[in-house]
Structure 1
Amino acid sequence: MSLYPYQLYCERIDRARNMARYYMLSIQPTLFGETAVVRSWGRIGKSGGEMSELFETEAQAAFRFLELARCKRKKGYRPAASCGNSARSRSGRPEGP
């Protein structure tokens, strides 16, 4: 698996339309040496759907990951916060003492 984790958590909130949705993407290894793009979606605070796509190489999975991320960005989804990739706050400064 790669040295860099692929994880993305986005939200689309429109109070006028009572819309509060999330979309989460990640690339994960499988037990059989393949690479999976795992995505989940739904209303914020509720359980939603989940789907996995398998790829032979990480490069193919990364291409699909970026393709899905671009599509959601066009639809108005925006990254909400860190998915745990680093111990940094939204301000960019490390959290804690």
Structure 2
Amino acid sequence: MTDEPLLLTRCDASRNMHRFYALNVDADLFHGSALTRHWGRIGTKGRFCIQLFGSRQEAERQLALILRRKLRRGYQAMPSKTGI
């Protein structure tokens, strides 16, 4: 898993739906990990949620669970910006 945020989008013009969902796992100050979630309508500042975990593996497990859920709901992963 890279330290770069994972960006998902879901757009459906017929339903006026233009959403984003970003996930990122980072180290916290207490030797654990934090899963940061940022979501909302594209073009707005959206909302944030930070979940703390005892290890990076736990945070990545939760990230994978959320990712599967979002992909089932129609979100698509945006291409990575590395190498550009």
TM-score when normalising by structure 2:
0.91
Deviations 1:70-97 (A, max 9, x none): 0000010001232x4x21xxxxxxx4xx
Question: 1:7 Cα shift?
Answer: 2.7
Corresponding position of 1:55:
53
Sequence identity, in percent?
32
Distance 1:6 1:74 in 2: 22
Aligned pairs, how many? 84
| Ranges in structure 1 where 5+ consecutive residues have no aligned partner | 88-94
The corresponding residue for 2:5 is 7
State which structure, 1 or 2, has the greater radius of gyration over its C-alpha atoms: 1
State the AA in 2 paired with 1:79.
A
Give 1 or 2: higher strand fraction: 2
Give the Å deviation of 1:6.
Answer: 5.7
What residue number does 1:23 align with? 21
Q: Which runs of 4+ in 1 moved over 4 A?
A: none
The residue identity in structure 2 corresponding to 1:76 is G
Alignment gaps of 5+ in structure 2: none
